[in-house]
Structure 1
Amino acid sequence: MSDVKQESIELVLSDMDGTLLSPDHSLSPRNLAAVKKLQAAGVHFTLASGRPPRAMREISQQLGTVAGFNGGLLVNAQGEYLQSHHVHYEGVLKTLALLAEHPVEVWLFVDEDWLVRDPSGEMVAHEQHGLGYAPKVVESYEPYLHKVHKIVATCSDAPLLLDLEQRLQPVLSGLAVASRSQARYLDITALKANKGDALVALAEFLDVPLVRTAAIGDGGNDPAMFHRAGISIAMGQAPEEIRKQAMYVTGSNLEDGVAQAIERFIL
């Protein structure tokens, strides 16, 4: 793809894991420098992630506003909630009933607490490493079902999670959104808790026309913002079906693809 000159972008919304961060979850000096250069040029840079805002706090203090839970919570750099969406109660019940029939770990995220019933689950240690904090162990999810920001189903069987995603989508129609943020993670969030609506909300909050926004991502929950942004950029390592839904493709997150995108397509 030939280089383009994009002079009108005022807001960039970037995915975090697999996009801004390297595979070891670190922020590379080149990516940080590119974001700082973008901000120095007067362009807003924000993050949208399936992570809870608590797990994005260190990054948000460096970079500003974040959209946690795929947009279920918009939080500014001071930790103040700008917007909050809970999963519809009926959607929670239907999701838990279907997932109970399959060998997957099921977690709830309520505000910024990560709730688990089995702390010895196969995926718990991996998630704790990624989030940077331990789960809250509960005997039952019953007291929390009216205030869920996200449900996660996870296991090492990626084809099973793909099947569950496809099975949940018609079940949750009009109630919630089911999408895989990564191969081993299936997220269920509120209807408005998607990165497309998060981009719209952030653009309105910052008084930026959507045509002057850019979105960068690599996962199954990123095309929602691709379809709303003025320009959309997929990471080089993203699956083909994700790359096809973006206007442009940058380098992988091993190659500082976000910095490449900022330098080539935005600045």
Structure 2
Amino acid sequence: MTRIALVVSDVDGTLLTKDKLLTDRAIGAAQRLQRAGIAFTITSSRPTIGMRFLIEPLGITLPVGAFNGSCIVDPTLKPVEQHLIPHTAARRALEVLGDFGVDIWLFTSDRWLVLNNRGPYVAHEGRTIRADPTVVPDFTPYLSKACKIVGSSDDAAGLQRCEAAMQEALGTQATAVRSQSYYLDITPPGVDKGTFVQAIARRLGISSDVVATVGDMQNDLAMFRVSGTSFAMGNATDDVKRQATHITASNEDDGFAKAMEQILTGVP
């Protein structure tokens, strides 16, 4: 395996268990990376506030990428770089999500807004990001401040169809990709987890061939494409696994830690 200088990891389904726990083995692996001189950071579809609890135990000193990398913040969550969804794209996204009858959320830089606080995944998201939503009667006043719009549904096949329709409707005006089988994320155009990886590599003055990335979902493919080494989690779908250079164990079997151990020992 190429000597790795930077590791960038996804969070949910990768670094955390299905119960949203950070295991001792994962913490230890991240800390050993940094003791070995390998830089480490995270990127996620989560809002910035939903990443706060990870920074200290993982010893992260680099910027982290929230909202699928479209918002870069330092370890104190102070913005370094932030992008918003264009107003017209945000409005069109709401129309498409409405057509498919999915529950809709809107995230600004500091708030999680919902129309219905009893939606199918609202309680789950609250536990995940450790924050409560604000119920609003209408998203219109917030469209100019949208960092991310989410369609959530327990109909995975229907959400996959919605993803295709959304990509056709928005074109290059915004990025639409599932971060979980039950979440469709709409984020600003031209920025994603891949551009976040590239930004951190530039910050460190390193090339992409010495970067390793770890993830499990379609929104992680952007960072796989710009890194020399990539690990798909054992719980990833087959199409994600096919696009990674390596496959590790699942997030329930410390797959992140096992991938880091491969990097630390240089085992291909």
Q: For this structure pair, what is the TM-score category when the shorter chain's length is used for normalisation?
A: over 0.9
Aligned-pair distance for 1:34?
0.8
Query: Could you tell me which of 32, 38, 42 is aligned with 1:37?
Result: 32
> Match of 2:210, as an amino acid?
R
> Match of 2:254, as an amino acid?
D
What is the count of residue pairs matched by the alignment?
262
Aligned-pair distance for 1:209?
1.6
Query: Could you tell me which of 148, 151, 164 is aligned with 2:149?
Result: 151
1:6·1:266 contact (CA, 8 Å) conserved in 2?
Answer: no
> Match of 1:148, as an amino acid?
A
Query: Could you tell me which of 113, 120, 126 is aligned with 1:115?
Result: 113
Helix, strand or coil at the partner of 2:218: coil
Which residue pairs with 1:56 in the alignment?
A: 51
1:71·1:192 contact (CA, 8 Å) conserved in 2?
Answer: no
Structure 1 segments unaligned to the other structure (5+ residues)? none
Which residue pairs with 1:101 in the alignment?
A: 99
2:100·2:162 contact (CA, 8 Å) conserved in 1?
Answer: no
For residues 202 and 228 of structure 1, the distance between their equivalents in structure 2, rounded to whole angstroms, comes to: 12
2:155·2:182 contact (CA, 8 Å) conserved in 1?
Answer: yes
Query: Could you tell me which of 2, 5, 15 is aligned with 1:6?
Result: 2
Query: Could you tell me which of 23, 26, 30 is aligned with 1:28?
Result: 23
Aligned-pair distance for 1:208?
2.2
For residues 5 and 89 of structure 2, the distance between their equivalents in structure 1, rounded to whole angstroms, comes to: 36
Which residue pairs with 1:202 in the alignment?
A: 200
Aligned-pair distance for 1:6?
3.1
**How big is the alpha-carbon RMSD for the aligned residues of Structure 1 and Structure 2?**
1.2
Cα-to-partner distance string for 1:37-78 (whole Å, 9 max, x where unaligned)? 001111111111110010110102333232110001111112
Aligned-pair distance for 1:119?
1.3
Provide the TM-score with structure 1 as the length reference.
0.95
Which residue pairs with 1:88 in the alignment?
A: 86
1:46·1:66 contact (CA, 8 Å) conserved in 2?
Answer: yes
Helix, strand or coil at the partner of 1:254: helix
Which residue pairs with 1:259 in the alignment?
A: 257
Aligned-pair distance for 1:111?
0.3
Structure 2 segments unaligned to the other structure (5+ residues)? none
Helix, strand or coil at the partner of 2:260: helix
Helix, strand or coil at the partner of 1:118: coil
Aligned-pair distance for 1:104?
0.7
Query: Could you tell me which of 223, 234, 258 is aligned with 1:225?
Result: 223
Within the alignment, does 1:212 sit opposite 2:210 as a pair?
A: yes
Provide the TM-score with structure 2 as the length reference.
0.94
Aligned-pair distance for 1:238?
0.6
Helix, strand or coil at the partner of 2:253: coil
Aligned-pair distance for 1:236?
1.0
Aligned-pair distance for 1:266?
4.5
Aligned-pair distance for 1:84?
0.6
Helix, strand or coil at the partner of 1:13: strand
1:50·1:181 contact (CA, 8 Å) conserved in 2?
Answer: yes
Query: What percent identity do the matched residue pairs reach?
Result: 39
Q: After alignment, is 121-130 or 27-36 more displaced?
A: 121-130
